[in-house]
Chains A and B, each alone.
Chain A
Amino acid sequence: MSVLVIAERTPQGLHKMSLETVAAGQATAKALGVECATAVAGPADGLPGKVYRVEHALLADYTADGFTAAFEQLIREVKPLLVLFPHTYQVRDFAPKLATRFGRVLISDVVKIEPGRFVRQLFQGKLNADFAAASAPSGDAPVFASVQAGAYRADAIEPTAMEVVTFTPQLDASAIRQKPEPPFRESARAVDLTAADIIVSVGRGIKEKENIPLVEELAKAMGAELAASRPICDNGWLPMERQVGSSGQTVSPKVYMAVGISGAIQHLVGMKGAKTIVAINKDPNAPIFEVADYGICGDLFEVVPALTEAVKKAKS
């Protein structure tokens, strides 16, 4: 009986959310009074405690079919009560399939785990909800959950002596239907938002492309880089390279000013490390106010010009 954390490895090393998930796994295992073990496809270094190193040539490149088959076999062997994943893009690609094989759903993107209770966000972070597995977990039907970025702290991990167990799954090349090609980036990034001290970022609240200069002027007055949330770049109103969030850049400037950005989690993970966060939004319940130090709750079309004016005055 154990908690099994399935860690993720990237070409650069352990995915940064892997250790956060190990911290979540250790805390949950402690509360349940069971052991916490980790599994990873590939090298086990960097992981604490008992680590199942899942080894097979067909796992060298990630595929949903290959990873599902390999981890299904491991889980049937280890029989954990709870299987935890970091809520990464890769996990979103295969963990729901894996859970289905055990008659379960993946309780995805959880922000808090207590025995029998998983807290998830609904409506892009506007509300929270408690979820529970409908039937008690067993070795044949463990509960599956993925942990949101930043929900647990990697530095909370209790160091334990590493014990590596190699697990070799039986995989059949012909059963892996996805043929992946090497990852690539569209082009060299011309804009490095990570180097900026101040970022003024614009979201859906700006309504139309024609209104972007309003925020551009504020950024200019503040000596800030202009950035955006995903929908703005999707619409082509600003180039993709100015996007902050899980699919764009991760920034931690001195000041991050979010203008008309509601604060969906995909955006928050890219900017919540900023030293000071300012939110300008008309909705007082917008999740962006969850992370903001300062806020103005109002119409950005009135607030932004007033702010540009005030900044210019303060600088003169």
Chain B
Amino acid sequence: MPAPMMTTSAEVSWEFMKIIVAIKQVPARDSQLKVAPGGKWIAEDDLTFEINEPDAYALEEALQLKEKHGGEVIALCLGPARAASTIREALAKGADRAIHIEEENVSALDTLAVAKLLAAAAKTEAPDLVLTGLQSDDLGYGQAGVVLAELMGLPHATIIMQVEATGGSLRVKRELEDGWFQHVTMPLPAVLTIQSGINKLRYATLMGIKKAKTKEMKTLSAAELGGTGAPAAALASVYVPQRSKQTQIFEGDAKTAAAQLVEKLKFEARVL
């Protein structure tokens, strides 16, 4: 029989982790986007919305950490009233409770304003760990997590592909460029931005969906959290980009188009 392992307090695994996951609701991936009259944002009327994909991976990572270490997962979402559907889905997947910072005009806020609201809501919870996706699929600033860490006075790491928590510290695998990775250790509490593909996403079960209806969803207003303040950067106009390259599009049915393309590959690109 192997000898019992000696453990010091620093090696003891966490028994209870309080994890906040910041999630955002964005237009569904395949949406046909149109610029709204006024040219400041997109027309949202005919769109369907879903959880920002990297945030879905952050939520899954939080749920797996909770399953491993025990604890609580709180979904935190800044968004208009419609975002409640995405929050319910997070609860159905296994988040224990949720905080909805209800604000209609989120697209007009810059990351600093967004992070200030998220930080104000997160601070009162005193979490051990805050997770969020590495960027949003709509505005794509890619910095809410980093700014949130700075505002909360916490260490952070970005583009994370693996999370191990032991004792009071965290060892994560950061993705670098060109297929390189790096492990980084830091003390808890901390903020991580999660890369898509870190884990395998779960679906909500029927039981989960049923349970979600009874879970706590606290709604706060931006004003209750100190307001949005003056922006540091302003979105002046949104427009369809001009094509810089002339693409030759082959029309007709699949067979006709394919034949035209093969002609080009053979005689212009000369690869066939």
Residues in chain A within 8 A of chain B (CB atoms) = 64-65, 88-90, 92-97, 99-101, 103-109, 117, 120-135, 177-186, 189, 197-198, 204, 222, 230-231, 233-235, 240, 246-250, 254-255, 275-276, 278-279, 283, 285, 287, 289-299, 302-303, 305-307, 309-311, 313-315
Pick out which of these stretches binds chain A: B6-14, B76-84, B257-265.
Answer: B257-265
Pick out which of these stretches binds chain A: B91-99, B215-223, B236-244.
Answer: B236-244
- A276 contacts B268, C-beta separation under 8 Å: yes
Report the minimum CB–CB distance from A112 to chain B (whole Å): 10
- A129 contacts B235, C-beta separation under 8 Å: yes
Pick out which of these stretches binds chain A: B15-23, B63-71, B139-147.
Answer: B139-147
- Tell me the nearest residue of chain A to B250, going by C-beta: A296
Query: Please, which residues of chain B bring their CB within 8 A of the CB of A93?
Result: 146, 157-159, 174
Partner pick for A129 among B186, B238, B261, CB 8 A cutoff: B238
Query: Please, which residues of chain B bring their CB within 8 A of the CB of A129?
Result: 235-239
Report the minimum CB–CB distance from B40 to chain A (whole Å): 9
In the complex, whether B138 has a CB less than 8 A from a CB of chain A is yes
In the complex, whether B234 has a CB less than 8 A from a CB of chain A is yes
Report the minimum CB–CB distance from A151 to chain B (whole Å): 11
- B248 contacts A177, C-beta separation under 8 Å: no
- Tell me the nearest residue of chain A to B230, going by C-beta: A134
In the complex, whether B3 has a CB less than 8 A from a CB of chain A is no
Report the minimum CB–CB distance from B261 to chain A (whole Å): 6
Query: Please, which residues of chain B bring their CB within 8 A of the CB of A198?
Result: 271
- B184 contacts A178, C-beta separation under 8 Å: yes
- B142 contacts A134, C-beta separation under 8 Å: no
A295-B236 contact in complex given A123-B27, A315-B272, C-beta closer than 8 Å: no
- Tell me the nearest residue of chain A to B264, going by C-beta: A294
Query: Please, which residues of chain B bring their CB within 8 A of the CB of A106?
Result: 111, 141, 143
- B236 contacts A131, C-beta separation under 8 Å: yes
Query: Please, which residues of chain B bring their CB within 8 A of the CB of A181?
Result: 182-185
Partner pick for A104 among B32, B139, B232, B270, CB 8 A cutoff: B232
- A295 contacts B181, C-beta separation under 8 Å: no
A289-B247 contact in complex given A130-B237, A299-B254, A306-B258, C-beta closer than 8 Å: yes
In the complex, whether B167 has a CB less than 8 A from a CB of chain A is no
Partner pick for B272 among A92, A105, A305, A311, CB 8 A cutoff: A311
